[in-house]
Structure formats: C-alpha cells, structure tokens
Amino acid sequence: MDSPKAGEPGWWPEAEPFRIKVVETIRRTTRPEREKLIEEVGFNVFGLRSEAVYIDLLTDSGTSAMSDAQWAGLMVGDEAYAGSRSFYRLQEAVAGVMGFPLVIPTHQGRAAENVLFTTLVRPGDVVPNNMHFDTTRAHVEHRGGTALDLVTEDAYDPVADLPFKGNIDLDKLEKTLARRQEPTAGTAPAAGADLSIPFVLITVTCNSAGGQPVSMANLRAASEICRRHEVPLYLDAARFAENAFFIKLREPGYGNRAVREIAREMFSYVDGCTMSGKKDGLVNIGGFIALRDPEVYQRATVWAVLFEGFPTYGGLAGRDMEAMARGLEEVVDEDYLAYRVGHVAYLGRSLKEAGVPIIEPVGGHAVYLDALRFLPNLPREQYPAQALTVELYLEGGVRGVEIGTVLAGRDPATGENRFPRLEMVRLAIPRRVYTRQHLDVVAGTCRRVLERRGQLRGLAFTHEPPVLRHFTARFERL
Ligand SMILES: *Cc1c(COP(=O)(O)O)cnc(C)c1O
C-alpha cells in the first residue's frame, strides 16, 4: 500500500505541533462593507488595510508567528553596536544549521543581495539561476548585469506532476559556463567565449516557479559543473528547510535521513548563501549572507558597513538576530516541517476536491489558482487573475495576490501588455498562523466563486503606473 502523501488523510501529524499562547483578533467584514472597501482602493487588494482582511494570504514573508522561545529571545537579545552577544548566537546557529563559518547580518534578503552583488557583480556580467526572484533579478540588473533563468522546462508546465520542478537545467548550465571568457585552469579559453560569470545562484525552493523544490542530485551535479569551471555557486536560501523536507519526502535515499543533515548536505555543495529570514528564519524582519571564503567576506563587509551597518548588527537590533538564530534552529524541526508542508498541501487537496483548478504539484509555501482554467471566458486583456483576486476578497474576505498579466507589465519597446504563460492567483500561507479551519474557509470561498464564475466580470485600468504597476494600479469593473 502506498503511504499517504503530504496533506492526505493519515498524513502525520494529525494536528498542529504547537499550542496557541497569544492570539490576534481578526474581524470578518460583511459583504457590503467589502464592496465599498474594494471600490475605494480601485479593485487592487494591495490598497486594503490589513484590518479589512479576514484571512490574509498575500505573502508568507515576514508574516510568521514567532515561538515562545523566539519571543523570550527578544528579551535576551543584547543591544551592542560591536560584538553583540546576539550576533555570535546568530553565527553559531548559521554554522550549526548551514555549516558556514562567516555571517554578515542584513535587514532582509534583498539587502543581502545588495551587499553580495555589489561585491561580486560588475557591469556586463551574467548571473545564471534556476529562476531569479524579483528582487534578485532587480539587484543583478541594478549592477549592470544580466539575470539568466535556466530552470528546467518542467517548471513551466502547470500540470506536470513531477517531484522537483525547481531544478536547474544542467545541460543549459554546462553550455552557459563553457562560454566563460576567463579560461579555466589548465585549459585554453573556448573559441567564441563571450560571457563573464561571477557566480551561479540556485534558489531553494524556487519561489518564482511556485515554491517547487530542487533535488539533492541536481544541487550536487550543478556544484560539480561549477567547480569544474571554477565558478562559485551560491544558494538563495529563503526556503531551504522546506526544500530539505521535500528531499526527505521525495528523493530516493533520503527518506530516513534527518532534515538537519539533509540541509547540511545541500549547503555543503555551495560557497555561501543569501538568506531572507522573513521566510525560513521564522522572523518578521532579518536576513544575512553566509560565506566560507574570508576574502569575499572581507570585501563584502566594506559594503555591509555602507549599506546596512557594522557587520555585527547589519541593520538589525540584537534582539532581531537572537530571534532569527532561534528561528533557524526551529525551522529544521521535522514535526514543524511536516505540519508546514502538510498544511499547504491540505489546502491544495481541498481545492482540488472542490474542482478548483490549481497548479500541481503544490509547492512549499503557497497554492496557486490557475485563473485561465478558472475563468476560461474572460479574455486576458481583462485581467482574469486580478478579477479572481478581487472576487475572493468580496466573497470571503480572503486576500491573495495576482501573479499574471498585471504583474508582468508592458513590453518597454512596444508598450503592449506582456502575457505570461500562466495567469495565477497565489495564496501564500504564513507560517504557524492559520488553522485548518481557516484553510477550510479559504477553500469554501474559492468553491463558491467557482460556482458563479459565469457572472464574473473583467477589469480595466483607470490608473496605470509606468513601473511595478501591480502595487498601486487602480481598476474599474467592465
Ligand atoms: C523573499 C525573497 C527574497 C528577498 O527577501 P526579502 O527579505 O523580502 O528582502 C529573495 N529571494 C527569494 C527566493 C525570496 O523568496
């Protein structure tokens, strides 16, 4: 008999591996209230005050509930400019969980990118990644570099039920690195070599591909390719623990290994990482760079001082570093991860059973609705995923986010809308925040909208900002 998959009946654990000690009251608004509120913000859920939202699935970033141990850490945190005890606690936690000796704290993940890329990326450089997260791409481009996405084709197929859709395409990586201008020791530069590649990044889990994991075999092989070409390899490690747990669940040979060991093996293949503590650091603010190479560390600290602060606090209070140190230890707990991955999978399964079209398999931090299958009659020029996002709010006070044409923006050359392959609504699940009943409300909301999908109307812009339009755009109903 097959053992139950994450989120299926019989999946362990039966319930949350924590009790609730502090609560935050949330209020369920009425439908007429929501009609008024959404109209006031121009049918853009980014404009809503969080108090007007019943279940907020806008993001899993910085929205985790901290544990009692983390809250206690806030009192123990030591507020010193130089040499804070909490910095050393963070350094120990990073060494213990990830195996890196050197740490530079930063105020969040993109700040870590800013410091590391300012150190390593020069104009004209090319940075390969499985798939760049938005801020990662923006920081590479800000340095005058080109961000190259080399994820496997599988990542673009919304229904391919494959275990590791976040993998980097090894063949493309090999071919890209073979075009390096700098000759690898003992070889002549390849004819026509035209790329300058300071390092390769792999994002775990692959956020922009729906939180899909990367396999250990893929990391190992990518590391071997990078080493052969003498190019450093870094992880964008925002969701490293969720990735490690997927390896345990899905990769042959890892079922009986401890997640802590799996995470250490993942990091053993790379030279360092950038980290957003707002994800698998289980904190509301914080991040860091972790490294092995003292020379890169020395160069990066110069920029860290300029952008973030002295390298023993990096834009954080001592208490923030203390909470992040404790979060890193907690996030590799297997009961927690089984709950986390199972919780997200539970929502996916509930939606599927209700006939709601979703992207499969469900990733680590969010469930994505497939708006093109949900609303096949709405033309893409009427922003079906945005219309669906608005409707989920109206129906149940649930806030998701559009990942589709509104987000993709316009082609700078032609001024035309860019239509991405997928039109999605992301329902990101904050860590340790909502119960299964909340997820049942979310699934019920989606099901009710599905039942009356024939009545849904599309949207048109009334205000369209030239860049990053999704945050502040306003719409009207057609
Ligand atoms: C969130 C995120 C970042 C940026 O981190 P922030 O803490 O939001 O600045 C970078 N990479 C990935 C994969 C992320 O998910």
pLDDT at 210: 85
pLDDT, one tens digit per residue, over 309-362 is 999 999 999 999 999 999 999 999 999 999 999 999 999 999 999 999 999 999
Q: Which residues of 2-28 are buried (b: 16+ CB within 10 A; e: fewer)?
A: eeeebbeeebeeeebbeeeeeeeeeee
CATH architecture, range 31-60+333-477: Alpha-Beta Complex (3.90)
pLDDT at 421: 84
Distance 278 CA to ligand 1 centre (A): 8
pLDDT at 4: 59
Do strands 398-399 and 55-56 pair parallel, antiparallel, or not at all (unpaired)? Answer: parallel
Q: Is the CB of 63 under 6 A from ligand 1?
A: no
| Residue 133 is a catalytic residue | yes
Distance 133 CA to ligand 1 centre (A): 7
CB-based contacts of 276, cutoff 8 Å, min separation 6:
61, 108, 109, 110, 112, 238, 287
- Which atom of ligand 1 sits closest to the CA of residue 287? 7
Per the CB < 8 A criterion, the answer to whether 289 and 300 are in contact is yes
Mutate to test the pocket of ligand 1, among 133, 151, 288 (most ligand atoms within 8 A of CB): 133
Torsion angle defined by CA atoms of residues 234, 240, 245 and 251, in that order, rounded to the nearest 10 degrees? -20
Catalytic option among 112, 147, 238, 387: 238
Per the CB < 8 A criterion, the answer to whether 298 and 49 are in contact is no
Mutate to test the pocket of ligand 1, among 58, 59, 60, 61 (most ligand atoms within 8 A of CB): 61
| Residue 134 is a catalytic residue | yes
Per the CB < 8 A criterion, the answer to whether 332 and 338 are in contact is no
Task: Tell me how far apart the alpha carbons of residues 161 and 144 are, in angstroms, rounded to a whole number.
Answer: 37
Per the CB < 8 A criterion, the answer to whether 6 and 342 are in contact is yes
| Residue 343 is a catalytic residue | no
Q: Is the CB of 215 under 6 A from ligand 1?
A: no
95, two tokens = 């060494």
Q: Is the CB of 236 under 6 A from ligand 1?
A: yes
Q: Is the CB of 223 under 6 A from ligand 1?
A: no
Length of the chain: 478
Task: Tell me how far apart the alpha carbons of residues 390 and 20 are, in angstroms, rounded to a whole number.
Answer: 31
pLDDT at 412: 80
Per the CB < 8 A criterion, the answer to whether 79 and 296 are in contact is no
pLDDT at 3: 58
| Residue 156 is a catalytic residue | no
Task: Tell me how far apart the alpha carbons of residues 148 and 126 are, in angstroms, rounded to a whole number.
Answer: 7
Kindly tell me the sign of the dihedral angle through the C-alpha atoms of 375, 380, 385, 388. Answer: negative
Per the CB < 8 A criterion, the answer to whether 67 and 326 are in contact is yes
Chain region(s) in the chain for CATH 3.40.640.10: 68-330
Task: Tell me how far apart the alpha carbons of residues 225 and 200 are, in angstroms, rounded to a whole number.
Answer: 10
Per the CB < 8 A criterion, the answer to whether 213 and 344 are in contact is no
Q: Is the CB of 110 under 6 A from ligand 1?
A: yes
Residue of the nearest CA to atom 3 in ligand 1? 109
Helix (H, G, I), strand (E, B) or coil at 235: strand
Distance of CA 3 to the CA centre of its chain: 28
Among 46, 72, 47, 70, residue whose Cα is nearest residue 59: 46
| Residue 238 is a catalytic residue | yes
Distance 135 CA to ligand 1 centre (A): 7
Could you please state the CATH topology (level 3) that the domain comprising 68-330 is classified under: Aspartate Aminotransferase; domain 2 (3.40.640)
Chain region(s) in the chain for CATH 3.90.1150.10: 31-60+333-477
| Residue 81 is a catalytic residue | yes
Residue of the nearest CA to atom 1 in ligand 1? 276
Q: Extract the residue ranges of the chain whose pLDDT is less than 50.
A: 1
pLDDT at 191: 72
Mutate to test the pocket of ligand 1, among 127, 131, 132, 135 (most ligand atoms within 8 A of CB): 135
Kindly tell me the sign of the dihedral angle through the C-alpha atoms of 417, 418, 419, 424. Answer: negative
Q: Is the CB of 109 under 6 A from ligand 1?
A: yes
Q: Is the CB of 135 under 6 A from ligand 1?
A: yes
pTM attached to this predicted model: 0.94
What residue type is assigned to position 444 of the chain? G
Residue of the nearest CA to atom 5 in ligand 1? 109
Per the CB < 8 A criterion, the answer to whether 195 and 181 are in contact is yes
Which letter does DSSP use for residue 212 in this model?
A: B
CB-based contacts of 281, cutoff 8 Å, min separation 6:
275, 287, 324, 327, 328, 331
Catalytic option among 68, 134, 171, 411: 134
Catalytic option among 43, 54, 87, 133: 133
Among 89, 87, 120, residue whose Cα is nearest residue 104: 87
Q: Is the CB of 114 under 6 A from ligand 1?
A: no
| Residue 236 is a catalytic residue | yes
